[in-house]
Amino acid sequence: MRAVVQRSSNKSVALALTLVAVPALGCAVVRPGEVGVKTRWGKLDDKVYDPGLVPLNAFSQQLITIPTRTVNREIRLNLPSKEGLNVSAEISILYHIDKSKAPEVISEVGLDYENVLILSVFRSASADICARFFAKDMHSGKRAEIEEEIRKEMEGHLAERGFIIEAVLLKSISLPEGLYTAIEDKLEAEQEAQRMEFVLQRERQEAERKKIEAAGVRDAQKVLADGLSDEIIEWRSLEVFEQLASSPSTKVIVTDGQTPMLLSPGSAGAPSP
């Protein structure tokens, strides 16, 4: 009888332990675009959990989730320029966390990593890079170059810490008052200078064309003068006499035998018969 009571008591203890242990077993959910890292009695686990259900011991374990999707952080600040001006800018930072380094991010930086690390590095990098450019460069074709330089500077500080900087985008630039007018005046002057250069180039080409044309006429005249000998002139005169003689129209020819002179009938100064 005593053995039966003992076995019943053991079963009751086992059932009680089971009932206590069951609530202690649970699970947590890691959402898409995140990863999870367990802590046990405050100690961080090295294993990274992908999206899905993660079993947990509610008494001793906790699941910390951290996003690995692309994050768009917008910030407005004043940037220094090479000439010492302050340029107001609205900038977007696109970044994500390397999931393999999620435990390091949590343990070394903490969950407030954006304010603690990313924005601090960005402010320093943007100030250093923009100070190398003129204010007008931030509003012109060099904007892409400035964005890439800032991204590279941030990546050099953050890549080893587990942060991947995808892009830095200068969304809007507000130049100091009066600088817009100065830039427009300069662009207008540059366009006028280009137009005048075009006109001068066209005039130079026209002058060169006339010079070449004049040289051609001069050379032709020189060749013609060099080729006109006395024999050629006499031969041409005979051709003229022949053409006059064969012409059916009435005419008077006065000649010294070498150079013909044609006088129409009734012309003044014609010799009397």
**Sorting pLDDT into bands at 50, 70 and 90, what band is 269?**
very low
pLDDT of residue 96: 95
What integer best gives the mean pLDDT of the chain?
77
| Residue 251 forms part of a structural domain | no
Indicate if the pLDDT at residue 242 is higher than 90: no
Q: Which of 181, 213, 232 is the last residue of a domain?
A: 181
Domain that holds residue 162: 71-181
State the Cα–Cα distance between residues 233 and 228, nearest whole angstrom.
Answer: 7
Contact present, 36 and 52 (Cβ < 8 Å): no
Average pLDDT over residues 203-215: 84
Average pLDDT over residues 97-112: 91
Indicate if the pLDDT at residue 154 is higher than 80: yes
Do 105 and 32 share a structural domain?
no
Each residue's pLDDT tens digit, 182-204: 655 665 677 778 888 888 888 88
Looking at the structure of the chain, the number of domains it has is: 2
| Residue 37 forms part of a structural domain | yes
Do 172 and 149 share a structural domain?
yes
The CATH number of residue 137's host domain is 3.30.479.30
User: Closest Cα to residue 113, out of 149, 75, 162?
Assistant: 162
* List of long-range contacts for 150-158, beta carbons under 8 Å, 24+ apart: 150/122, 150/125, 150/126, 153/125, 153/128, 153/129, 154/93, 154/118, 154/121, 154/122, 154/125, 157/121, 157/125, 158/95, 158/117, 158/118, 158/121
Contact present, 93 and 75 (Cβ < 8 Å): yes
Indicate if the pLDDT at residue 272 is higher than 50: no
Do 77 and 42 share a structural domain?
no
